[in-house]
């Protein structure tokens, strides 16, 4: 069964999978998600994604639907059952099923969904040429309203509106600033720039999701002896960068060609971007392997 959904322990083909109508994320966005890639039957950064998910559950006061180890095994077994080789896992945990905003209306354990699918967010041509990005009018949600580390389903309404705005300008991505006007992130990925050989990216306190691909790239850069700075960046910093790129599980590591019509650097992927894309391509070989042929 190639594309499939594991929902609270039952497996169905993707096309016929169903979630309860009164699921609390369906009703109120009261849930968490992780997008995780697997490459060549190895799940990339599985534990980092699970840790973020379990931290989110604790923050939102969800009951634990299953132990960390059981969740980890369910993801591995479901991947093995799908046997897709390369693909994308959407792991969702919602508060559970119940009508009414009050969490006490939810009498069930959290609902857990493990979807095994494929996802090609950008074309090979876009990965080669780089993305044209526009600054959107949508600001990231303030950290004192909702901690940006929380990968909560409900917060994505703002990102979807920002993505629509970018789409209307035929841009590959939309940049979001924070309330102070500093650069935060794009709608589904983090941003990096290179200037004078230094790799720079917004500090987590700018209101970004602390992306797992971002952390990976920082680690790869440090390993290569590159100086990395997490700081407060403005649009001016982006437009005067020598190179820029975006990172995310779905987007992977992709060069950025322009911002608001201004070409960045040389207008094609720069040497440090290429070096980090190559290092990332090596790193994805080190994911958690799953054994094809076993069942979920
Ligand atoms: C708003 C936002 N920023 C950044 C990212 C990148 O995070 P990660 O590298 O963990 O996928 C994502 C990915 O889901 C995202 O939704």
Which CATH superfamily, name and number, covers 124-283? D-amino Acid Aminotransferase, subunit A, domain 2 (3.20.10.10)
For the Cβ of 212 lying below 6 angstroms from any atom of ligand 1, the answer is yes
Overall fold of domain 4-119? D-amino Acid Aminotransferase; Chain A, domain 1 (3.30.470)
Q: How far apart are CA 280 and CA 259, in angstroms?
A: 24
Taking residues 268-272, report their average pLDDT: 97
3-state helix, strand, coil in the chain (%, to 5): 35, 30, 40
Cα of 105 vs centre of ligand 1, distance in Å, is 31
Average per-residue pLDDT in the chain? 96
**Cβ-contact 237, 161 below 8 angstroms:** no
**Which part of the chain is CATH 3.30.470.10?**
4-119
Q: How far apart are CA 262 and CA 4, in angstroms?
A: 43
23-49 pLDDT, tens digit per residue, is 999 999 999 999 999 999 999 999 999
Residue of the nearest CA to atom 7 in ligand 1?
A: 211
Dihedral (Cα; 43, 47, 49, 54), 10-degree rounding: 140
Angle at 54 between CA 48 and CA 58, to 5 degrees: 145
For the Cβ of 34 lying below 6 angstroms from any atom of ligand 1, the answer is no
Q: Which residues are catalytic?
A: 151
Cα of 280 vs centre of ligand 1, distance in Å, is 16
Residue of the nearest CA to atom 1 in ligand 1?
A: 188
Taking residues 170-179, report their average pLDDT: 98
For the Cβ of 211 lying below 6 angstroms from any atom of ligand 1, the answer is yes
Residue of the nearest CA to atom 4 in ligand 1?
A: 189
Q: How far apart are CA 18 and CA 69, in angstroms?
A: 25
Give the model's pLDDT for residue 296: 44
Q: Which H or E run contains 77?
A: helix 68-82
For the Cβ of 209 lying below 6 angstroms from any atom of ligand 1, the answer is yes
For the Cβ of 213 lying below 6 angstroms from any atom of ligand 1, the answer is yes
Taking residues 93-102, report their average pLDDT: 98
Taking residues 156-163, report their average pLDDT: 97
Q: What's the Cα-to-Cα distance from 82 to each of 4, 19, 50, 288, rounded to whole Å?
A: 7, 20, 20, 16
Residue of the nearest CA to atom 14 in ligand 1?
A: 188
Q: What are phi and psi of 35, to 5 degrees?
A: -105, 125
**Please, which pLDDT band fits residue 235 given cuts at 50, 70 and 90?**
very high
**Which part of the chain is CATH 3.20.10.10?**
124-283
Cα of 283 vs centre of ligand 1, distance in Å, is 18
Check the CA dihedral 169-254-226-265 and report its sign: negative
Cα of 34 vs centre of ligand 1, distance in Å, is 9
Q: What's the Cα-to-Cα distance from 279 to each of 105, 134, 187, 223, rounded to whole Å?
A: 48, 27, 24, 10
Q: What are phi and psi of 48, to 5 degrees?
A: -65, -40
**Cβ-contact 212, 190 below 8 angstroms:** no
For the Cβ of 185 lying below 6 angstroms from any atom of ligand 1, the answer is yes
Give the model's pLDDT for residue 293: 55
């Amino acid at each position: 069964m190639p594309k499939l959904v594991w929902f609270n322990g039952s497996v169905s083909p993707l096309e016929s999978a169903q979630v309860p109508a009164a699921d609390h994320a369906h009703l109120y966005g009261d849930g968490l998600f992780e997008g995780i890639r697997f490459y060549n039957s190895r799940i990339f950064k599985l534990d980092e994604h699970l840790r973020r998910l379990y931290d989110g559950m604790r923050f939102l006061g969800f009951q634990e639907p299953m132990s960390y180890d059981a969740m980890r095994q369910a993801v591995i077994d479901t991947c093995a059952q799908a046997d897709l080789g390369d693909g994308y896992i959407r792991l969702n945990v919602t508060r559970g099923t119940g009508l009414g905003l009050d969490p006490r209306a939810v009498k069930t354990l959290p609902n857990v969904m493990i979807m095994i699918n494929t996802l090609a967010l950008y074309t090979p041509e876009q990965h080669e040429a780089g993305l044209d990005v526009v600054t959107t009018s949508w600001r990231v949600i303030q950290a004192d309203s909702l901690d940006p580390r929380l990968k909560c389903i409900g917060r994505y309404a703002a990102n979807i509106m920002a993505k629509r705005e970018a789409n209307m300008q035929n841009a590959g991505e939309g940049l979001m600033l924070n309330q102070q006007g500093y650069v935060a992130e794009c709608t589904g990925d983090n941003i990096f720039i290179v200037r004078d050989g230094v790799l720079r990216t917004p500090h987590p306190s700018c209101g970004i999701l602390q992306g797992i691909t971002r952390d990976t790239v920082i680690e790869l850069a440090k390993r290569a002896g590159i100086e990395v700075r997490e700081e407060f960046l403005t649009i001016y910093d982006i437009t005067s960068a020598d190179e820029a790129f975006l990172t995310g599980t779905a987007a992977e590591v992709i060069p950025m060609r322009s911002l608001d019509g201004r070409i960045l650097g040389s207008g094609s992927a720069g040497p440090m971007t290429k070096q980090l894309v190559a290092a990332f391509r090596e790193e994805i070989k080190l994911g958690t392997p799953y054994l094809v042929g076993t069942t979920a």
